[in-house]
Amino acid sequence: MPIQVTCPSCLSRFSVSDKFAGKKGPCPKCKKQISVPLKTDEIVIHAPRDDAPKDSKGQSVLKPIKRTETRVTRRGVIVTTVTILAMLVAAVVLRSLGPVPWWAVVVGALVVAPPAIWAAYAFSRDSELAPLVGAELRNRLLILTPIFACLWLLYAFVPVYVLDLNTTSEMPLFMAGVMLVVILLIGAFAATNALELEFSGGLVVSGLYIVSALILALIAGVQLASMDGKRKSPERELLLDPQPAAMHMPGDAEKTRQLQPLSGGSVR
C-alpha cells in the first residue's frame, strides 16, 4: 500500500512505495531531503460499526426517522381569524353603548390572550426544536392566559396607588409608557419559560398580546392614560355653607345713612 508523503519545504504531496518506509530521499520537486514516515505513523480512519439488524441481502431493516415539519393548519388560521373579527365587532359595539364596564375589560383581556399567544408562538419558536402541539400547547396557553391578563392589573393599580390617582385615565403618558415596558418584560419572562423560547421569542409573544389588547381597548373607547398628559385636579368640595344674607327692611337704609359720619366731621 503506498504511503502518502508531504514535503515540508515545498508542501508537495506524492505517494511512495511502502518499501521506502522510514528511509530518506530527495523530494521529486525541490530535491531536498525528506523522511518517509513509517507505516505505524499512518492515520487510518475506520468506518463506524453498524450493529443494526440486517436482512438476507445485508441491508439494515431499521428505517431512519424523518423529521416532520409542523406547519400552521387551516383550522388554526380559521379559528384565530374568526376570534379576532369577533373581538373587533365586540369592541365596536361596546364603544357605541357608552362607558365600558370593568367586567368587559377583564373578559377582553382573557379572550385576546390565546389567539395572540398562539399566533406569536407559530413564528417565534426555534425551528430546529420539536414544537409544542396538541394538548401540551393548549395547557401552556391556559397557563399563560391568566398571567397575561393579570399584567393589566399591574398597569392599572400600581400607578394609581403610587401617584394617588383616581383612575387610570389620569395617568401621565410617561408613566403609561414605563408601565407598558414593565409588563412587556414580565410577560416575556413568563412566555419564555412556559413555551420554552429564547427571550427574544418571549418578547415577541408578550409584545403581540399587549399591542392587540391596546388596539381593542382604543377601539372600545377605554382610556388607559391621560391623552393631554395632564392630571385632572380633584374638585374641591364646599365644606361650609355660606351665611345667608341679612334681611333689610325699607327703613334700614335711611337709618344706616344717618349713622354714617360725614367726611371731616363727627357724629353728634
CA 216 to chain centre: 17
Which triple of cell numbers denotes residue 259?
349713622
Q: Give me the pLDDT at residue 73, please.
A: 65
Q: Give me the pLDDT at residue 208, please.
A: 92
- The reply to whether 137 falls in a domain is yes
- The reply to whether 259 falls in a domain is no
- The reply to whether 21 falls in a domain is yes
Q: Give me the pLDDT at residue 259, please.
A: 46
Q: Give me the pLDDT at residue 143, please.
A: 93
Which triple of cell numbers denotes residue 208?
403581540
Are 82 and 191 contained in the same domain? yes
Q: Give me the pLDDT at residue 185, please.
A: 96
Are 79 and 197 contained in the same domain? yes
Among 75, 180, 67, 80, CA closest to 121: 80
Q: In terms of pTM, does the model score above 0.85?
A: no
The range of the structural domain enclosing residue 30 comes to: 3-41
Are 10 and 111 contained in the same domain? no
Are 206 and 85 contained in the same domain? yes
Distance between CA 211 and CA 180 in Å, rounded?
A: 10
Please count the CA atoms within 13 angstroms of the CA of 102 that sit on its side-chain side.
5
Are 109 and 190 contained in the same domain? yes
Residues 168/224, Cβ–Cβ less than 8 Å: yes
- The reply to whether 258 falls in a domain is no
- The reply to whether 67 falls in a domain is no
Are 120 and 36 contained in the same domain? no
Among 113, 84, 83, CA closest to 191: 113
Q: Give me the pLDDT at residue 98, please.
A: 80
- The reply to whether 256 falls in a domain is no
Q: Give pLDDT tens digits along the chain (268 positions).
A: 677 888 888 888 888 887 888 888 888 888 888 888 777 656 666 667 767 777 777 777 777 766 666 566 677 678 778 888 888 888 888 888 888 888 888 888 998 999 889 888 888 887 777 788 888 988 999 999 999 999 999 998 888 888 888 888 888 888 899 999 999 999 999 999 999 899 999 999 999 999 999 999 999 888 888 866 555 444 433 333 444 444 445 555 554 455 445 444 444 4
Q: How many domains does the chain have?
A: 2
- The reply to whether 212 falls in a domain is yes
Angle at Cα 97 formed by Cα 94 and Cα 103, nearest 5°? 50
Are 12 and 80 contained in the same domain? no
User: What is the DSSP-derived secondary structure letter of residue 167?
Assistant: S
